[in-house]
Amino acid sequence: MQILVIHGPNINLLGSREPDTYGSVTMDEINKSLEELGSAHNIQTSYFQSNIEGEIVNKIQEASLSKEINGIIINPAAYTHTSVAIRDALAASKITTIEVHLSNVYKREEFRHKSITAPVCKGQICGFGATSYLLAMHAFIDANSNDKDSKDFSSLA
């Protein structure tokens, strides 16, 4: 069982970037928490961060072709609202994906209220800071424990 965590643009600046909005937890701390949680449930995690849209698309396509990735947790960050390319790559991948955001995008500027990527994801979790990522991992853990024979997380409600 393997989950790919994709961090979009500027997520590498967490901890110092707008802490009032994004908190003080760093990307590395988020990754470490996810790795610990996943490991406790026999789920391997891998991580990717890029500020470049095409690199994110390539990573999603690579995951799809590898057949080793069973789920994706993605924070597309600003690309949430602009990237048809990432949306199309997620849709084509057929990998169960959960979109996460640290802040509650619906309490922010109006342009952040529309996600291009969410409609091709199983769900979206936002507004819980770094815990948003852990909640997404818990969704995969729960689905895996409910359906031990399935590695595609199709049982996610």
- As a whole number of angstroms, the distance between CA 48 and CA 89 comes to 15
For 2-146, CATH gives 3.40.50.9100
Residue entry with tokens 């959960």: 98
pLDDT in tens, 2-48: 999 999 999 998 886 666 766 678 999 999 999 999 999 999 999 99
Q: What is the pLDDT of residues 37-69, one digit of tens each?
A: 999 999 999 999 999 999 999 999 999 999 899
Residues with catalytic function: 22, 101
Handedness of CA 14, 12, 113, 91 (dihedral sign): negative
- pTM here is 0.87
pLDDT of residue 149: 47
List, edge to edge, every strand of the sheet that includes 44-49. 44-49, 2-7, 71-75, 96-101, 123-126
